[in-house]
Amino acid sequence: MKQSLLTLVILTILLGSCSQPSQDTAIPEDVAGQRTLLDAKRQELNALKKEIADLEDRLGNQAGANSEEEAKVVTTSLLEPTTFRRFTEIQGNVEPVQENNISSETGGRIIRLLVKEGDSVNNGQLLASVDMEPLKKQIEELETSLQLATDVYGRQKRLWDQKIGSEIQYLQAKNNKERLEKGLDGLRAQMKKANIYAPISGVIEGLQVEQGDVAPPGMPIMQLINTRDLKIIAEVPERYVGTVHNGDKVKVQVPTLQTEQTETIRVIGRVVHPSNRTFHIETSLNNRAGTFKPNLLALVHIEDYKEENALVVSVDLVQQEVGGKQFVYIAENTDKGKIARKVYVKTGESYDNHIVILEGLKAGDEIVQIGARGLSENDVLEVKTETNG
């Protein structure tokens, strides 16, 4: 009823103003004349807007005083100070904390391959063995030579102890024996490298050889990845250098698995990459359930703004007039019950459908929630349910 009456009055005013003949219907040709005409028209428009606003206030007051007006059903909540946080989303990648490329130090033909791709292995477990037959023959030859050299050295030492023979013969025998012993120790050390063991616990990936293949020395033949201990690496724009700190808590999401958890930043890069103006960060990733896999896409939410004791409302509750002024409706207690009161506000930071109110509201105000969009000033309210937050 109120809205129809208001519309009728406004239309009457507009029609009346349009029906009046203009004293100067022609637009001046010169710029000065056009500016003068524009100023006059603006003054007429401002006067008309003021008259409309006065009529709105009068009609609103009359509607608020009308006890027979139907009450608007709404829900409300009490405004309480809270901590407002804003986060920035950074794309990252899931990576293993430990991964090793397994190779043979000596090289040779693989005579035993004890694992296949996808196998889980423990630290120290035997993975493969290479053929060391040529080395075994060298060891046997050296052992035979060493036996002779040891016997010769023993004879020369006994003679030298009896002052028989020359010192050079004794020293040559000793040197030959010690040289063969060192050479034998070196070959035996190489023999130990015939077996390839797992340096960490993990899963075999990227197996590149089969039993019987020749493994060149130092060339990777398989990859061993620790899938239990994972991390997330992300590249952060340089504008957040002063915002991100080691030890900060961040929200981590893995969209593919629809998971979210809180982790800790444990590494911050000390260099800004000149190509993309970013620095890298690393966070831990709890993978006790074994659901995460390396190279999954991850999203890291970094807190870049925080305000304590902030007055925060839903973005949907902040409405805007044609002139750009923002307002919210609160429920105000009167002798005749609760009525809608328009309160102009100044807003601040926003995030995740919430916005900070800088001016206009105070703690304890009863904010109209559901039904706020259909209200007008001084509407009688019927609060069906009251919610907190």
Burial of residue 77, with CB atoms counted within 10 A of its CB: 0-12 exposed, 13-18 middle, 19 or more buried: buried
Looking at residue 62, its pLDDT comes to: 56
Tell me the helices (H) and strands (E) count for the chain, helix number first.
Answer: 4, 23
Six-digit token pair at 10?
């406004």
* pTM more than 0.75: no
Does residue 290 sit in the same domain as residue 377?
no
For residue 351, give the nearest of 302, 387, 299 by alpha carbon: 302
Cβ atoms of 380 and 337 closer than 8 Å = yes
Six-digit token pair at 83?
């901590």
Give the tens place of pLDDT for each residue, 287-297. Answer: 888 889 999 99
Whether the per-residue pLDDT at 30 is higher than 80: the answer is no
CATH number of the domain encompassing residue 241 = 2.40.30.170
Does residue 255 sit in the same domain as residue 283?
yes
Measuring CA to CA, how many Å separate 66 from each of 35, 165, 336?
Answer: 46, 137, 10
Does residue 10 sit in the same domain as residue 152?
no
Looking at residue 53, its pLDDT comes to: 64
Does residue 124 sit in the same domain as residue 203?
yes
Among the candidates 256, 275, 307, a domain finishes at 307
Does residue 250 sit in the same domain as residue 137?
no
CATH number of the domain encompassing residue 333 = 2.40.420.20
Tally of domains within the chain = 5
Range of the domain at 280: 89-97+229-307
Among the candidates 206, 223, 240, a domain finishes at 223
Alpha helices (H) in the chain, listed in sequence order = 2-19, 31-65, 133-161, 167-192
Distance CA 228, CA 287 (A): 6
Any idea of the CA torsion for 311, 315, 318, 324, to the nearest 10 degrees? 110
Give the tens place of pLDDT for each residue, 213-269. Answer: 888 888 899 999 988 889 999 999 999 998 899 999 999 999 999 999 999 999 999
Does residue 247 sit in the same domain as residue 137?
no
Does residue 206 sit in the same domain as residue 118?
yes
Residue type, 216: P
Which DSSP letter does residue 264 get? Answer: E
CATH number of the domain encompassing residue 113 = 2.40.50.100
Does residue 169 sit in the same domain as residue 26?
no
Looking at residue 386, its pLDDT comes to: 52
Phi, psi angles (nearest 5°) of residue 72: -90, 130
Whether the per-residue pLDDT at 12 is higher than 60: the answer is no
Distance CA 348, CA 164 (A): 104
Confidence band, pLDDT 50/70/90 cuts, at residue 20:
very low
Does residue 299 sit in the same domain as residue 247?
yes
Does residue 107 sit in the same domain as residue 216?
yes
Does residue 254 sit in the same domain as residue 238?
yes
Six-digit token pair at 368?
């109209």
Does residue 166 sit in the same domain as residue 180?
yes
Whether the per-residue pLDDT at 334 is higher than 60: the answer is yes
